[in-house]
Structure 1
Amino acid sequence: MQQRLALTFFVCAAAKWPLRGQPKHVDAVPASFDCEMRKLAYEYGKKLIPRMGAFESLYYALDLDSAGCHVASTGKPFTGPGAKLPTKAVFVAVDGRDDGDGTEGQPLKSLQVAADAAAQRGAALVLRAGTHFLDKTLHLSPLHSGLVMMAYPGERVEISGGQKVQVSWKPYNVSGANIWVTDAAGWEEMPALHINGARATRARYPNMPHGIESSCGYGCMIDGGKGKWTPPDFQKYGNVSFYTDKTSQHYRNTTHDWFNEYMIGVGGLCSVYDPPVSYWCSENPSGGGAFAFRTPSGLSFEFPNGPYKHAEDARLFVWRPNRWANWMFDVAKYEATTQNFTFGRGGNQGARGENTGGDFFIENVMEELDYPGEFFFDKHAEKLYLYYNGTGAPPADASYVVPRVQVLVNLTGTQWNPVKDIKVQGIHFSASAPTYMMPHGVPSAGDWALDRYSAVFLQGTQGTLIDGCVFDRLEGNAVMVSGYNRDATIQNSDFSYLGGNAVAAWGYTNETRTDRGRPGIILANAPAAGVDGTDGEHPLRTTVQNCTAREIGLYEKQSSFFVQAKTAQPHKRLKTLTPSTTSRVLSNVFFNGPRAGINMNDGFGGGDEIAFNLVFSTCRESGDHGPFNSWDRQPFLTTVRLAGEGSECEDVDEDVDNDDGSCYYKTHDNFLVYGGQAMKNDFGGHDNHHYDNVDAYVDHALGVCETIAGHEDYFFGVALLALPLFAVLARCPTRSPGTKYFFFSF
């Protein structure tokens, strides 16, 4: 399926940004070019998001306050007419009363009570200033259709999933350190702690000099080669059941011998997922570095501050080798004499497996509370410890908030009875609880595993609008567009300091008889129906526009600003790109993330448009791609495809990284800087066209694989700026003589 990456300003890296994994030539980039490029990116970002004014976060991310490349931070925020108070409204306030009448003079207190009252009265729900702490999720059902939930004009309104901790600090170790303790009776766990709105760092080794909210790049980890990894236990969950769709009419016929058949495995080591199914447990997973899923079952390492008294409470964060994703493991068993950890729950946070782990760290043990800004909750003694990053005692009047509620607002209906036309406007969302240890599933056959949790969750909706909202310091995903959704729009909103993804769209097919995402429903024709995407249980026409996103993936490193799987766009072919065209990812500014900025996990239906974006400083903690990455290893049947048989494909180290099976990408009118390759297409990809782009300071112009006649890749009309020579890197054992490339350079 044709995809477009059009009129997009992608920046891969800047010369002084994290160096590991960067193209070899970056150090040779003239300082004058690098500086002017960053200034151009700053002006472009301000033009895309005028409401940000001077856009200070972008200014500092581009390092424009440095002596070597300095420009003034200028610009005034653009403000429109602003929201107006509805003539008919139910009001809710932090100091309201649920026995009130919901008028402005007698506001309600509970968001759920107020939302129900507003729906019954056909009124808007207006939130007054302050932080509305939730003790449980706000549910909006089909009965709430048409509801406008908005902040009172001109007031700052926050919905928090946290709960305040009442503290009475007493000295614990204030001679050699500055550690204080307070009673915290009644708490079962504290996986995260926000102090005056910013995260403290859970006690860990190695330490993070600037705290968890500041990326260490490739640092702050233990080299995976220094640990001794216990091999996978291949019989832990019994045998896997293989299924391969042999229906010839379902085959793709344009990828030679790559990814022609739909295939999955159910059970076996993929029992760590829910539902317990994955392409990576199928009989013949293929592609770059492909083999059946597995993870190590333990680790031995002599931590300098070990052995630990309560290692059973520890959690290990482990990169997969090559840093394609990370796993989290709780400890099932600990041998103090050998410091051997046997893994229990976890290992389900990425789709690709390995026999050993990569770089790692440990957290949540008292012995590692040794650095300013760290905290530790002793659940056995019900005490909270804080290594205060200041002098004297921690302030008693500060706000100490523990995230408790994972989903703040849940809009859930069905395809046959959807939640319609909900509008959420001008609200700040914060302190949703961590979800990285919750059940994950493997969406299609990309490298991802995802959890169907988010601060704002959509399933079974039509016409949802999220407008002018702020998603800040959420411990998991911000917005999840799950299953049946039509015309969801997220616009004019800002995402920052997230544990997972900013926006994820993820549909369903029937791969197993039950799925936790659709409780109580027996699914028909599984697993054969896994190939069938014609039942409508997937997002269509999802739009993310005029948004900013930065500092994401603080916990789950396989996170992006936008990711989609089993998701499609329009029913008609888009001939041209115009401001009125329905677009998927349009006019956004994304920077500072651990993996690819935008990710397409498959080519389900296709027709996506990604245009007018500024994307840079991605893959800060990993390698292999950059601003954009796609896969398409699994064929699907859809009713929304634009061309070809079966499913069509999606369109960056790389500028544009079209991984295994990706096809029909039209990548054009982009300014792409510092990539390892301008165009990368490997392992069965085809029909990808890279044209009318400026590619500056790349190691190679393109890396390609063999294609069959009539499905060649094209590379033409490209300005190759300062490339020493026209370099082609063969990505596969052979390169098709049919691959086309035409170029000019200056």
Structure 2
Amino acid sequence: MRGIKNLIIISVIFFASFLRPAGSNAQTNLYVSVKGNDRNPGTKNKPFASINGAVSAARKISGAVFIRLYGGTYYLSKPVVFTSADSRKDNEPLTLTNVDNQKVIISGGALLRGLNWTAFKNGIRQAKIAQDLVFDELLVNGKLQHMARYPNYDPSAEILRGTAADAMSKERAERWKSPAGGYVHALHSAKWGDFHYIITGKDTSGTPVLEGGWQNNRRSGMHEKYRYTENVFEELDTENEWFYNKKTKILYYYPPAGLDLKTAKLEIPQLAHLFEFRGTEERLVKNIIISGLTLTQTVRTFMQNKEPLLRSDWTIYRGGAVFYEGAVRCRLEKCVLENLGSNAVFFSNFNRNCEVSGCRISDIGASGICFVGDPAAVRSPSFEYNEYIPPAEIDLTPGPKTNNYPKDCKVYDNLMFNLGYVEKQSTGVELSMCSDIVVSHNTIYDVPRAGINVSEGTWGGHIIEYNDVFNTVKETGDHGSFNSWGRDRYWQADKKKLDSIVAERPGLALLDVVRPIVLRNNRFRCDHGWDIDLDDGSSNYHIYNNLCLNGGIKLREGVKRIVENNIMVNNTFHPHVWFKNSQDVFRHNIVGTAYLPIGIADWGREIDYNTFPDSVSLAEARSRGTDSHSVYGPLTFENPEKGDFRIKKGAAALSAGFKNFEMDNFGVVSVGLKRIAKKPIFPTVLVINNLTKDETIDFMGARIKNLTTAGEQSATGMDRIRGVLVLSVAPGSAASAFLQANDVILTFNRKQVGNLKDLQEARNAVAGKNTEIVIFRNQQQLKRKIEVKM
């Protein structure tokens, strides 16, 4: 047997010598086909059958090697693993790609064969499964089907595609004979991500018993309303649903009308990973490229999502369809990653100079691309929101303890959409315990939470530029298209103690984020939060030349943030509970409404040279001691309907130092990706001008007017022109407890408010009493209980 193996290796090298051109830039081509044979030499006419067969042969060949796959679907029984034995010299890479642009699909699924379908009942069909398979997801003719669930899958439902408060109630469970193995999925009680549970049975009272709920680092329980149950047999009651009985090995499926099960292709994902780069800092995997392939069908891993990412709200499953650890100068390029149950790409621990570029990443169960280092590289780490290190015990050495984290990597020209269809605490690009990552020219949209997320300050140096990020925070809350936390070694949840720590030793806030994080030349739109949200201690940022289309910019406490030359359309600057002597700077920006500060006693180093839409907003800012050199004037943009928000010549903003920046260079650059990428909806600019004839009045400290224009309707997201528009809210006023600029008042004291007169009459009727107000904000109605004083 050993002699046969040696003969095969000798044959491969012999044939490869004919394929390799002469000269120092020698190149070898090895071929793979689904119709090949691993005993073949890997030539064009006699290809290998497996990728592993070609990889093994490549290890024996010097010079650049191309493994070229003929078109077809390659079903993997295990991941393709690259180790240090596969490392290549610089300029002699190993490239895994297709033949002549043929479509090559690398699948972690299994094809169901020889099914004998018979009728079960009520349109449901059944078939015995002879194969020994994991049944986690089912795809029929390439389309993802749904585990039997309650409530049924509803593509029009914004949150979790359908929810019900009684999804796991005792009354509902009475229908279930044996629910063990079912799942409960729910949003976090505050909509900060989600939780997942497996049903282990029912207790003596008949209530489902759950195990799980570890998928969020803020474990305050599941949402009382936003939840659903799946993988329970009795809930199989509509088209495209399925259930697999593990004991009887019978698959039950409710096919849609017109589907021919005899010819349909049914596939079941089996693997969590497709490609793995398994190296260490001492034994690296170098110079390997995966290019031009379609990667699909990995299992969901939401029950393995347990590792906390320090004190951020996140936990993580450390894995993905393409997994990198100990990789240097490795690339994933021009690939399609779709229908993946977990993360698409994951860089774990030590990685250097790696890149993901030109890829389309869509229909992903969790996140698009993650960079996550080793917590052991963090000095004085804490792992839960309420944990903290006493100041006297903090390691005062700046930066990381080890090199075991991703650094100097790049995410460039990728189209990412329809992410997080299972896990809602997910994102397009996740940065945690890493440094110097470039995220450039990506288009990211249709995600349940942030498009780009920075979990903590460790260790900064990132450049986030020319990205187009929109349709974000679609299923969660209190977040932004770009989100960050800065819960680093100095941080703690007790705000008074935190303030005193930073006041005494402001340098502590910069021990982890040792290099500035740069956000520049991006376009953001968030309709359910902030366009840019720097939360909880986020420090050492330089934010400039960003176009914010709807949600404005929020800075919670932190130090050393420079925000300059940004445009905030129909929104404004949201400073929240800043540190004393934060050294923050906000200058040369354009805001669409008055600032909306909360709990600010110290306004940093410089808040000036900004542009407001009206004199009232500017006067309000100056009354707080800021913006002595700022200006106001009409926001005259070049062509906002087409997305060109450059300021016209002669506009007031130019006199305050604002400089126009390019408006046609956001997002992906590849021709093919640009052709299919969506664009954000460009808002009609809401012009607030105190010189207009529109009547404005004071309402409990808020300036309000009738909503009268199509621009105001578009900016607020109203269904039609009606109600009363909130122009601004004075800090500390009664209205500040329940109103924000750009709100629309719909009812007051249970009376419809069509105009100012309606609101005044309703208020006069309840002076000195408690009542109720209904407002429209972020495309949803909110009900508030308030007290109306005399």
Compute the TM-score of the two structures, normalised by the length of structure 2.
0.65
Aligned to 1:655: 531
Higher-Rg member (1/2): 2
The equivalent of 2:102 in structure 1 is: 155
SS at match of 2:411: strand
Q: In the TM superposition, what whole-angstrom CA distance separates every residue of 1:443-496 from its partner, at most 9, and x where no partner exists?
A: 222111111110110000100111111101111111101100001100011100
Alignment partner, residue 232 of structure 1: none
Q: 1:528 to 1:342 in 2, by over 3 A?
A: farther
Matching of residues 326-405 of structure 1 within 5 Å: 326-335=194-203, 338-344=205-211, 346-355=212-221, 357-358=223-224, 359-391=226-258, 394-405=260-271
Q: Secondary structure at the match of 1:113?
A: helix
Q: Which residue of 1 aligns with 2:503?
A: none
Partner of 1:716: 587
- Structure 1 residues 528 and 153: CA distance shift in structure 2, 3 A: farther
Q: Deviations over 1:26-45 (max 9, x none)?
A: xxxxxxxxxxxxxxxxxxxx
Report the counterpart of residue 39 of structure 1 in structure 2: none
Going from structure 1 to structure 2, the CA distance change for 1:339 and 1:593 (only over 3 Å counts) comes to: farther
1:562 paired with 2:429, answer: yes
Gaps of 5+ in 1: 1-84, 228-298, 513-526, 570-582
Contact map agreement 2:217 2:313 (CA 8 A) in 1: yes
The match for 1:182 is 127
Give, in whole Å, the separation in 2 of the partners of 1:672 and 1:552.
22
1:427 aligns with one of 280, 293, 297:
293
Letter in 2 for 1:196: N
Asked if the contact 1:584/1:608 (under 8 Å) is kept, the reply is yes
Q: Is the 8 A contact 2:374 2:433 kept in 1?
A: yes
Corresponding residue to 1:508 among 374, 378, 383: 374
Match of 1:81 in 2: none
Q: Over aligned residues, Cα RMSD in angstroms?
A: 2.7
What aligned pairs does 1:26-65 form with structure 2 within 5 A after superposition?
none
| Alpha-carbon shift at residue 216 of structure 1 (Å) | 3.0
- CA shift digits 1:404-439 (9 cap, x unpaired): 011110011110110011111111100012211225
What does residue 575 of structure 2 align with? Answer: 703
Query: Larger RCO: Structure 1 or Structure 2 (Cα < 8 Å, ≥ 6 residues apart)?
Result: 1
Question: Residues 308 and 314 of structure 2 are in contact (CA less than 8 Å); yes or no, is this contact kept in structure 1?
Answer: yes
Counterpart of 1:679? 553
CA contact (8 A) 1:409 1:457 kept: yes
Where do 1:151-300 residues align within 5 Å?
Answer: 151-173=98-120, 177-187=122-132, 189-210=134-155, 216-217=158-159, 220-223=162-165, 300=169
Residue aligned with 2:591, SS: strand
> In the TM superposition, what are the counterparts of 1:439-454 in structure 2 within 5 Å?
440-454=306-320
Gap change, CA 1:531 and 1:320, over 3 Å in 2: farther
CA distance in 1, matches of 2:254, 2:230: 15
The code of the aligned residue for 2:106 comes to: I
2:343 to 449, 472, 477: 477
Distance in 2 (CA, whole Å) between partners of 1:332 and 1:410 is 33
CA deviation digits over 1:255-281, x for unaligned, max 9?
xxxxxxxxxxxxxxxxxxxxxxxxxxx
Change (3 A) 1:744 1:720: same
**CA–CA distance in 2 between the matches of 1:739 and 1:369?**
61
Question: Would you say the 8 A contact 1:706–1:739 is kept in 2?
Answer: no
Aligned to 2:356: 490
Deviates most, 494-503 or 178-187: 178-187
Give identity over the alignment, percent: 25
Q: Which among 80, 89, 111 is matched to residue 138 of structure 1?
A: 80
TM-score, normalized by length of structure 1? 0.69
Residue of structure 1 in register with 2:402 after alignment: 535
In the alignment, structure 1 residue 101 sits paired with structure 2 residue 48: no
Q: Deviations over 1:220-260 (max 9, x none)?
A: 1123xx68xxxxxxxxxxxxxxxxxxxxxxxxxxxxxxxxx
Work out the CA distance in 2 between the residues paired with 1:530 and 1:590.
Answer: 36
In the superposition, relative to structure 1, how do residues 397 and 529 fare at CA in structure 2: closer, same or farther (>3 Å)? farther
Q: Name the amino acid aligned to 1:117.
A: A
Counterpart secondary structure, 2:453? strand
Alpha-carbon contact 2:377-2:402 (below 8 Å) kept? no
AA aligned opposite 1:388: P
Q: Within 5 Å, which residues of 2 pair with 1:523-602?
A: 533-569=400-436, 584-602=438-456
Structure 2 distance, partners of 1:136, 1:500, is: 21
**Alignment check: 8 A CA contact 1:499 1:553 kept:** yes
Shift, 1:703, TM fit: 2.5
Alignment equivalent of 2:462, drawn from 589, 603, 608? 608
Q: 2: distance between equivalents of 1:309 and 1:530?
A: 59
Distance 1:145 1:496 in 2: 30
Decide whether aligned partners of structure 1 residues 484 and 316 sit closer, same or farther in structure 2, where only a CA change above 3 A counts. same
Give the C-alpha shift of residue 187 in structure 1: 3.5
Contact 1:323 1:622 in 2 (8 A): yes
Aligned CA distance change for structure 1 residues 87 and 738 (closer, same or farther; 3 Å): closer
Residue 214 of structure 2 aligns to a residue in which SS? coil
Measured in 1, the distance between the counterparts of 2:59 and 2:513 equals 41
CA displacement 1:488-537 (0-9 Å, x = unmatched): 1000111000011110000003289xxxxxxxxxxxxxx99999723100
Measured in 1, the distance between the counterparts of 2:221 and 2:291 equals 47
Q: How does 1:69-84 map to 2 (within 5 A)?
A: none
Q: Is the Cα contact below 8 Å between 2:97 and 2:293 reproduced in 1?
A: yes
The amino acid that maps onto 2:558 is G
Residues of 2 paired with 1:340 and 1:126: CA distance? 55
